[in-house]
Amino acid sequence: MKLSVIIVNYNVKYFLEQSLYSAGLASKFFKEIHGSDSVEIIVVDNASNDRSVELVVEKYPNVRLIENKTNVGFSKANNQGIRESAGDYILLLNPDTVVSEDTFVKVVEFMDRHPEAGGLGVKMIDGTGRFLPESKRGFPSPEAAFYKLFGLSSLFPKSKRFSKYRLGYLDKDEINQVDVLSGAFMLLRKKTLDVSGLLDEDFFMYGEDIDLSYRIIKAGYKNYYFPETEIIHYKGESTKKGSLNYVYMFYNAMIIFAQKHFSSKNAGMYTYIIKSAIWLRAVVSIFKRLFDILFLPISDAVLFYIGFMILTPYWEAYKFNEVYYYPPEYLNFAVPSYILVWIGMISLSKGYQKPVYSGNLFKGILIGTFFILVVYSLLNEEYRYSRALLLLGSVWACLSSWFYRIILRLLKLKRYSFKRSKNKKIAVFSAQEYHRSVREIILNSGPYERKGFDFEFHSAVYDATELNKLIDENNCDEVIFNYNDYTPGVIISLISKLTNTQPEFKTYIPKSNSIVGSSSIHSSGDIYVSDISKITKPSNIRIKRTGDIFLSLLFLVFFPIFVLPVDNKTGFLRNIFKVLAGKYSWVGYIESDNEEYQKRLPQIKKGILHPVLYSAEDEKDIFKVNAYYAGNYNLTDDIYVIYKSFYDIGNKKF
């Protein structure tokens, strides 16, 4: 066996599918040159819960699969694969990578020509075609770490002194000897590992590639950066790079490395620098996250309160010809309570989720107002200040929060403002027979009613200049390539040569139910997935059942109030006990006579109400609505459906 490819996977099913597809093509090309038994692919799954294992078993039966019952970490999982491998060369490959079809051949031929080479890394680009500087790195000495952590390496990227960590002074298009190989693509000579040892399992994640690279050089071998083949690395897919957990894990790995390989004096200095950086990054990250989370809710709360301060005296003068008619408790306690309910309901309705949608904002305020009115009707007379003023306040809340977000848009604070209604322009480069499949995956991955996409379908274009021109002329926000028309190598070559624009790039494997890409190396990636199993995840099953029980008990306790607007009052009471008994849910699928469509849906309890407030046109239309409900389940959507069709809640016929 010439080459063993080892991929450690943890909950990145859709990226793994793309990685295995590209690795399969590269393996096929490798076998044509080196023989049918010259390459093997081993996937080690670290107890993923996203059905990654099922994907490998069903679609890639020739891949060897090692299933771990717990997440044992990156190093230990790779060592499992290495011990099971039979190749003269071992390639450690991330699941969020795409290799060119000639990558395996080129890197192995280089290693064959250079017996002094113990390890090799390649040129990596991100999902927009930008070069990833971690493709070539130096050792994280105390000096290099200081320059990197305090920004000097970014200020002087070509300096031999300040850019020691990422070797910015080396040409990214030339073969060079380097210190550190990236764990995303790390080709290792098996004989070298026999001398240097396998990955150090003290490193759970991060740092293991630096440690092994260091030991390879200590063993008398060389590490090479080899840019004559390129791969895509959707950096950030397995981990949120901005999270505190990442900061801690990454820098703690650097401390382990220092304590293992540096002298006690240097290790102490290095540890001090790293720990200072951890605390600094943690404090900055905490304040940034708190500001990001609380900025809109606090702003809304202030706006809502100002509105009541203005409305209250005007209402008092109009209604009672008297200012200060209401006691101080009204503005001090009652109004803040209203505001807390509105803020809470906006949050539950995803009104503070980015990007911000006006529909979620208004939905939260309306649900909150309904809840306040219900509680209001149960209070003693002395605490019922004014229903009319409450309704005026809710109108103010809707208008003020809406105008506020418009102002934020004008001030260029796009993160906190409404998402623009401009449709997303998507260019699909594919044979015509796949156009419908691509369109349906995208539309089924978002709200059924969404009309936020403009599609431009094109035949395959293989010239980078022509592709660049088409993207510019059509002002494309996103480009989708079909692997049936493009090889991974052609896609990589095209996106790395684009000059004038940087749209988002995604790829589609025929007969897959996902379209995968990444718009930024700092993001967790962008995926269009026609996956409708979300509603049957254990956590969502518990949430839905808990919601059913809570609402049923609420309806039962306050039945004399809730029953007033209901058409079928006896049916309402009967339905409460049916839901409490677990035989039905308050919201379920639209019922259909088409057994084929019904079998394709995850199985849930029948519903008293269904998740759409208008008549579906046909069986296919019904399936799309049900599929979206299943794939995007959220308890607040159930509450909104109940609120909008409450009059019909007693009409279910059993």
pLDDT (tens digit per residue) in 14-37: 889 999 999 999 999 999 999 989
Whether 306 and 342 map to the same domain: the answer is: yes
Whether 472 and 387 map to the same domain: the answer is: no
Considering the domain boundaries, does residue 271 fall inside one?
no
CB–CB of 212/171 below 8 Å? no
Strand partners, 455: 426
Rounded average pLDDT over 510-529: 61
Predicted confidence (pLDDT) at residue 135 exceeds the cutoff of 50: yes
CB–CB of 555/571 below 8 Å? no
Considering the domain boundaries, does residue 654 fall inside one?
no
| Single residue among 237, 252, 278 that ends a domain in this structure | 237
Contacts of 329 (CB under 8 A, 6+ apart): none
Whether 49 and 191 map to the same domain: the answer is: yes
Confidence class for position 160, pLDDT limits 50, 70, 90:
low
The pair of structure tokens assigned to 319 is 């209604």
Confidence class for position 584, pLDDT limits 50, 70, 90:
very high
Whether 465 and 572 map to the same domain: the answer is: no
- DSSP per-residue string spanning 409-465: HHTT-GGGSBPP-PPEEEEEES-GGGHHHHHHHHHHHS-TT---EEEEEE-----HH
Distance between CA atoms of 352 and 636, rounded to whole angstroms? 14
The pair of structure tokens assigned to 557 is 């306790």
pLDDT of residue 522: 38
Whether 554 and 488 map to the same domain: the answer is: no
Whether 93 and 196 map to the same domain: the answer is: yes
Considering the domain boundaries, does residue 162 fall inside one?
no
pLDDT of residue 221: 95
Of 438-442, 489-493, 497-501, 587-591, the poorest mean pLDDT is in 497-501
SS3 233: strand
pTM of the complete model: 0.66
pLDDT of residue 504: 79
Considering the domain boundaries, does residue 276 fall inside one?
no
Whether 199 and 81 map to the same domain: the answer is: yes
Cα→Cα distances 196→88, 130, 215, 498, Å? 15, 33, 6, 41
Considering the domain boundaries, does residue 255 fall inside one?
no
Q: In which domain, by residue range, is 108 found?
A: 3-136+172-237
Predicted confidence (pLDDT) at residue 154 exceeds the cutoff of 70: no
- The total number of structural domains in the chain stands at 4
Predicted confidence (pLDDT) at residue 654 exceeds the cutoff of 60: no
Of 332 and 168, the structure prediction assigns the larger pLDDT to 332
Whether 327 and 368 map to the same domain: the answer is: yes
Say which amino acid occupies 324.
Y
Omega of the bond leading into 355 within 30 degrees of 0 (cis): yes
pLDDT of residue 448: 38
Considering the domain boundaries, does residue 497 fall inside one?
yes
CATH of the domain at 510: 3.40.50
SS3 639: helix
Of 334 and 241, the structure prediction assigns the larger pLDDT to 334
Whether 409 and 464 map to the same domain: the answer is: no
Locate tokens 């803020």: which residue?
343
Of 552 and 637, the structure prediction assigns the larger pLDDT to 552
CATH of the domain at 178: 3.90.550.10
What's the farthest any 2 CA atoms get from each other in the chain? 96
pLDDT (tens digit per residue) in 207-231: 688 888 888 998 999 999 999 999 9
Considering the domain boundaries, does residue 552 fall inside one?
yes
Cα→Cα distances 230→71, 124, 222, Å? 30, 6, 21
Distance between CA atoms of 424 and 476, rounded to whole angstroms? 8
- What b/e readout covers 105-133, taking b as 16+ CB neighbours within 10 angstroms? bbbbebbeebeebbbbbbbbbbbbbeebb
Whether 507 and 566 map to the same domain: the answer is: no
Considering the domain boundaries, does residue 158 fall inside one?
no
